[in-house]
Amino acid sequence: MSLFTINAQTWKDPNAKIENRVEDLLSKMTLEEKISYCGSRIPEIKRLGIPYFEWYGEALHGIISWNCTQFPQNNAMGSTWNPDLMFDVATAISNEARALKNAGRKEVMMFSPTVNMARDPRWGRNEECYSEDPFHMSEMARMYVRGMQGNDPKYVKTVTTVKHYVANNVDKGREKIHSYINKKDLYEYYFPAYKTCIVDEKATGIMTALNGLNGVPCSADKWLVNDVLRNEWGFKGYVIADWTAVEGIETRMHYAKSQAEAAAMAIKAGVDQECYRNKVKKAPMVYALPQSLEQGLITEEELNITVKRLLRLRFMTGDFDDAKLNPYSNIPKSVLECDAHKNLALKAAEQSIVLLKNENNILPLKKDIKNVAVVGPFADRCWMGIYSGNPQHKVSPLEGIKKAVKGNVTYAEGCSIEEGADDSAKIKEAVALAKKSEYVIVVVGNDETTSTENIDRMSLKLPGNQHELIKAVRKVNKNVILAVVPSGSTSIGWEQQNIPGIVCAWANGQEQGTALANVLFGDVNPGGKLNTTWYQSVKDLPDFHDYKIAGGNRTYMYFDGKPLYPFGYGLSYTDFDIDKVAIDKKKLEANGSVTVSATIKNNGKVDGDEVLQVYIRNAKTGKKAPKKALKGFQRVSVKAGQSTKVEIQIPYEAFTYYNAKKEQYMVKKGTYEILVGNSSENITAVKKVDVKGGIVPKIKVGQKSAFYKFDSKKHGRNWDYLYQNKSEMSSSKKEEKDNSDWVEYEIVFVDPGFYVNTWDAELSFKSATKEAIIETFMAGNSIKSYTILNNQTKLKIKIPIPPEYGQPVRLKIKTRKGEVTHESIKIIPPGDVKPFVISKIIDASK
């Protein structure tokens, strides 16, 4: 009886092997309870004392929640070319995720990172990924996974879910279309970042894409999931299908004849769960699986394999153990948007900014400018990018510039992001300010209205009348600085020819405005480099649906035209020389490595960062080989007038190509060129090495690639290494007294089935005095201020989406100037969800 009791509690024993704990808990679960694990919302099991659990979280560049630090968007992080900084950022994000879990607010199942390749800048979600280059992507993504999952030998800090597997680079109609790709392109271009995250970094999860691959829905593809991911790479984690992708195997892809067959196909392919959360409904996969079992399409043992993988992760997070055993349970709520994290967000934003043009050294600007105009639709907003949370503290470009400049700063919106009826008047206002100013800083770009999930760009031009605004301002003032906040490559050819100073400022997190001002006014010397090729025009690109890479006209590796700005490009306020380039051997044997060394000298008068980039090529391998391929890089800081030596090791593995007939990575014997420079086009030295032909052995989880490096001093520290003292683990910001009148509406948001950062809404007023000013708030966070003109009774606004659907959230509206009597608010959800009006004011100041 005593032995039976011990065995019966194995799943609760933290000292038992995880496999035994999983088996024990599984044996206690009913069939219905097992099936419930195949959706995002998992009901409680009262008799076992297991509470309700939501397997759903977003942490692309910060936790999507209230009062969490928002770091630069992923394409901005890619432009830092600093993987160690990526590790620090991921550590901060995962610390906040754990703090929320410790406070009982959220789980740590995160749907990130996105490692879909930025093969085409038209893709609506291009800003979510780090690079167009598979090696660059891999090195940034690996550090995200490493920082998010932590280094505790027993517990994982957060569960990472690498997405979207695979080749989801068109968003319009993504749930119905297929990506047609040959094996060479898959293994050389689309797979590497996933493999790096899985094999080298032991990522815990994968999300299959909504699209299909070569005629098979990704969530039903046995070859893609079981053969490649699980068997070839040895992946032991969980696989989740993107939003209702299992349902779509039948309803959208017409690949299955019924929902029961679709669910069975997913299970047999190796897919464990379907992403779906609804206040009332279960995931379609959960509804369908009982029928799959009844019809004999799958067995309970096959379902058990799926549930085991999901349970295993819950044990890995420490969900069933005493919190005292888990080091991450000590992370306090105070780290949310704490000083250390905000400082890190600023550092990352500063390192991401790319100086694109600096004619006659117009930059940096002097702080004693008497009059500077700041114009543009992105000037007075801190646009942090898609899949962003809602921090309390955020700085717009206008705010950052006002703090930096000693003189007078004026502002005009200039135009709407998309074409607006009053754009002509707005442009005239901006021109009037430009005429009276010594300098004009124009901040333009595109946001979720023109590029996001479900919305692709069909043009690379700035949307709306933003080009016209730039031209109009430049016509009356020659001292124009252009700051672009893009989702990706943007066609600014006229601007490159006619605007003296241009920076790429990105959707750069909550410290965007401070970082931009620090660069524009010389407190920071920009050192970022572009993570993608910037094209002259959309006409330079192949068909959007053409996924061909090798021999195609895509990315710096195969593009035949002249780019506007090449991959890896970025200027500085100082001049660097790259010389004394050498390699340590002229013949490379199989499984060896060649070390490239170079000296970087800073010839200028200011300190700066340079990125040494190492590419390789074999000119004799034909059109299907890259013109050059990045295989090593390092960002280094060099003080004015000084030099530093850099060494980069290039392993034998870097010279591989994929032989589709032999299904093997191979190295072709021959003489290879090693190209060293500071961009893909600015190559300052070429060295040659004779490489022995051979096969690169296949590796799987438990082994490491030749590119894997672990520095215990950087990556082996405890979770609290980011904080020099306890005061940095909290925010020093103090709340100010506020006596403004206010009202509150209570809103329950419904899930539209895809993510957007903001919803449209319309305020209605019974009355308002002329030029009254109101400010909107959610969860104590300021959203935006609005001026009510000419006794208008309706006002269109944007409201951020809360991280949890189906729960009441209050929108507070404060009156900052004048008097306003509120009547109602109309909520306008995206997609097919009907608008609804809320007339009841739930609370008010008087």
Pairwise CA distance, residues 535 & 565, whole Å? 7
Residue type, 528: G
629-638 vs 664-667, strand pairing mode: unpaired
Pairwise CA distance, residues 136 & 139, whole Å? 5
Residues 6+ apart with CB under 8 A from 259: 247, 250, 284, 287, 288, 291
Residue 281 tokens read as 């409904």
Phi/psi of residue 264, nearest 5 degrees: -65, -40
Pairwise CA distance, residues 125 & 569, whole Å? 22
At 588 the three-state DSSP class reads: strand
CA torsion through residues 714, 717, 719, 722, sign: negative
Read off the DSSP letter of residue 612.
E
Residue written as token pair 């309706």: 794
DSSP string of 122-140, one letter each residue: TSTTGGGSS-SSHHHHHHH
The order of strands in the sheet holding 664-667 is 656-659, 664-667, 694-695
Residues 6+ apart with CB under 8 A from 608: 525, 527, 572, 573, 574, 576, 602, 637, 638, 640
Residue 780 tokens read as 């104590």
Q: What angle do CA 459, 188, 124 make, to 5 degrees?
A: 25
Pairwise CA distance, residues 705 & 658, whole Å? 16
CB 79 within 8 A of CB 142: no
Pairwise CA distance, residues 652 & 345, whole Å? 36
- 88 as an active site residue: the answer is no
Residues 6+ apart with CB under 8 A from 604: 572, 573, 574, 575, 640
Residue 730 tokens read as 């909290």
* Three-state secondary structure of 503-571: EECCCCCCCHHHHHHHHHCCCCCCCCCCCCCECCCHHHCCCCCCCCCCCCCCHHHHCCCCCCECCCCCE
Catalytic residue among 24, 200, 242, 380: 242
Residue among 395, 426, 396, 397 nearest 412 (CA):
426
Longest dimension (CA), the chain: 91
Read off the DSSP letter of residue 72.
P
At 575 the three-state DSSP class reads: coil
Within 13 Å, how many C-alpha atoms sit on residue 824's CB side? Answer: 6
Pairwise CA distance, residues 393 & 342, whole Å? 9
Residue written as token pair 């190796």: 270
Residues 6+ apart with CB under 8 A from 38: 263, 272, 273, 274, 283, 285, 286, 289, 306, 307
* Helix 18-27, helix 300-316: angle, nearest 10: 130
| Residue 752, preceding peptide bond in cis (omega within 30° of 0) | no
Strand locations in 549-642, DSSP E? 576-583, 587-588, 593-602, 608-617, 629-638
At 818 the three-state DSSP class reads: coil
Within 13 Å, how many C-alpha atoms sit on residue 709's CB side? Answer: 15
Catalytic residue set: 242
